[in-house]
């Protein structure tokens, strides 16, 4: 519609004129309950900085318990735990992954003991922190073994559930693992433990700082030098989106309660399609590299860090994510409080 003078009657700028009106018409709002906070736990008593993730530290078990308490205070519903395993404890078969006395299990027990059910704990199911080669599965000749790995992942999921973890999150990308893990959990009496499947996990360049944090950059590099194939042989090709839907369909059929898309910010189309197609709880992981880019630019004064952080997470929700794993979780939650 135009006035005789040629001006439009519809001016979308009107609803952008006042802060209160922008707030009133906002389609997406971020709440602390949308966030999951990933934490690194190590065996040392003192925290250790992760140089490629400014503001993120590897924490002791006590430190992780305190962080979980802070999460509860901030209204962040859950933390995701990632163990940093001493290099001398890593083995070719990553057998420590299934030991109920490992760092991840001890941290889970410590959090549950202090906080009960006040905060959820999500644990990765994958062998990479525990293997000398840094892969998520067992190494065969020239390949990462699928079915043999799945058997180990089942035992890993059960020891984590025994320790008190309420959500196990297979991030390994082996075929068929969700169904087997569901069966193993049920057989162990863990009917109520959820499976959050990393259904669409891409072989991404954006995991670099995480691998520095857990020490798998070095193990992977050594393995690559020995001719071990890389994670592209099991994680998805970033070129593919239809394939992500097939991954999700399979994991849902196998019993996944929730699915994850990862990395988040470079997969907004995939998040959108997964949510629209399946309508099931869809989480997205804003990974270490996405975090590091914003932090690094902010440190140089090239970006307004807190604004960029909030916007990067808000648009992941707008794309369709029900919750977002992000290293910015506490900072964003404090800003919303």
Q: How far is the CB of 283 from ligand PBG (least distance, A)?
A: 13
Considering only residues 215 through 244, tell me which ones interact with ligand PBG, judged by CB under 6 A: 231
- Applying CB under 6 A, does 128 fall inside the site for ligand PBG? yes
- Applying CB under 6 A, does 247 fall inside the site for ligand PBG? no
Of 285 and 333, nearer to ligand PBG (C-beta) is 285
Of 122 and 161, nearer to ligand PBG (C-beta) is 122
Q: How far is the CB of 305 from ligand PBG (least distance, A)?
A: 18
Catalytic residue at 231?
A: no
Q: How far is the CB of 307 from ligand PBG (least distance, A)?
A: 21
- Applying CB under 6 A, does 312 fall inside the site for ligand PBG? no
- Applying CB under 6 A, does 211 fall inside the site for ligand PBG? yes
Q: How far is the CB of 78 from ligand PBG (least distance, A)?
A: 15
* SS3 sequence of the chain: CECCCCCECCCHHHHHCCHHHHHHHCCCCCCHHHEEEEEEEECCCCCEECCCCCCCEEECHHHHHHHHHHHHHHCCCEEEEEEECCHHHCECCCHHHHCCCCHHHHHHHHHHHHHCCCCEEEEEECCCCCECCCCCCEECCCCEECHHHHHHHHHHHHHHHHHCCCEEEECCCCCCHHHHHHHHHHHCCCCCCEEEEEEEEECCHHHHHHHHHHCHHHHHHHHHHCCCCCHHHCCECCCCCHHHHHHHHHHHHCCCCEEEEECCCCCHHHHHHHHHHHCCCEEEEECHHHHHHHHHHHHCCCCCHHHHHHHHHHHHHHHCCCEEEECCHHHHHHHHC
Among the listed residues 210, 247, 251, 260, the single contact to ligand PBG using CB under 6 A? 210
The helix (H) or strand (E) run that includes residue 197 is strand 194-201
Catalytic residue at 262?
A: yes
Q: Which of 105, 207, 115 is nearest to 165 (CA)?
A: 105
Considering only residues 161 through 190, tell me which ones interact with ligand PBG, judged by CB under 6 A: 171
- Applying CB under 6 A, does 288 fall inside the site for ligand PBG? yes
Q: How far is the CB of 91 from ligand PBG (least distance, A)?
A: 17
Among the listed residues 36, 107, 200, 287, the single contact to ligand PBG using CB under 6 A? 287
Q: How far is the CB of 231 from ligand PBG (least distance, A)?
A: 6
Q: How far is the CB of 288 from ligand PBG (least distance, A)?
A: 3
- Applying CB under 6 A, does 130 fall inside the site for ligand PBG? no
Rounded Cα distance between 198 and 207, Å, is 14
* Set 201, 231, 275, 317: catalytic member: 201
Rounded Cα distance between 97 and 81, Å, is 13
- Applying CB under 6 A, does 207 fall inside the site for ligand PBG? yes
Of 30 and 285, nearer to ligand PBG (C-beta) is 285
* Set 90, 262, 275, 317: catalytic member: 262
Q: Which of 224, 220, 223, 201 is nearest to 211 (CA)?
A: 220
Contact letters for ligand PBG, residues 25-64 (x by CB under 6 A): ----------------------------------------
Which residues sit at the interface with ligand PBG, rule CB under 6 A? 124, 126, 128, 136, 171, 207, 210-211, 231, 287-288
| Active site positions, annotated | 201, 262
């Amino acid at each position: 519609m135009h006035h005789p003078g040629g001006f439009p009657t519809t001016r979308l700028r009107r609803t952008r004129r006042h802060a209160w009106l922008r707030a009133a018409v906002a389609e997406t709002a971020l709440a602390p309950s949308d966030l999951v906070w990933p934490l690194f736990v190590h065996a040392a008593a003192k925290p250790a900085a992760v140089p490629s993730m400014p503001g993120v530290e590897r924490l002791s078990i006590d430190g992780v318990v305190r962080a979980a308490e802070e999460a509860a205070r901030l209204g962040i519903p859950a933390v995701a735990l990632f163990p940093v395993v001493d290099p001398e404890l890593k083995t070719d078969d990553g057998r420590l992954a299934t030991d109920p006395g490992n760092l991840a299990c001890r941290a889970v027990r410590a959090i549950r003991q202090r906080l009960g059910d006040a905060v959820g704990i999500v644990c990765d199911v994958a062998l990479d922190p525990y293997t000398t080669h840094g892969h998520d599965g067992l190494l065969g000749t020239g390949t990462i073994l699928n079915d043999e790995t799945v058997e180990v992942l089942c035992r890993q999921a059960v020891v984590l559930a025994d320790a008190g973890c309420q959500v196990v999150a297979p991030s390994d990308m082996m075929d068929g693992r969700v169904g087997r893990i569901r069966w193993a959990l049920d057989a162990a009496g863990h009917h109520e433990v959820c499976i959050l499947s990393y259904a669409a996990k891409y072989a991404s360049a954006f995991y670099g700082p995480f691998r520095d944090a857990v020490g798998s950059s070095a193990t992977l590099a050594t393995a690559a030098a020995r001719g071990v194939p890389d994670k592209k042989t099991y994680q998805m090709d970033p070129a593919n989106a239809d394939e992500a839907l097939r991954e999700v369909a399979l994991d849902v059929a196998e019993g996944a309660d929730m699915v994850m898309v990862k990395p988040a910010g470079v997969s907004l189309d995939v998040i959108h399609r997964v949510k629209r197609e399946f309508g099931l709880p869809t989480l997205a992981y804003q990974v270490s590299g996405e975090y590091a880019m914003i932090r690094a630019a902010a440190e140089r004064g090239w970006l307004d860090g807190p604004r960029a952080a909030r916007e990067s997470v808000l648009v992941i929700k707008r794309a369709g994510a029900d919750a977002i794993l992000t290293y910015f979780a506490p900072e964003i939650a404090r800003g919303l409080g």
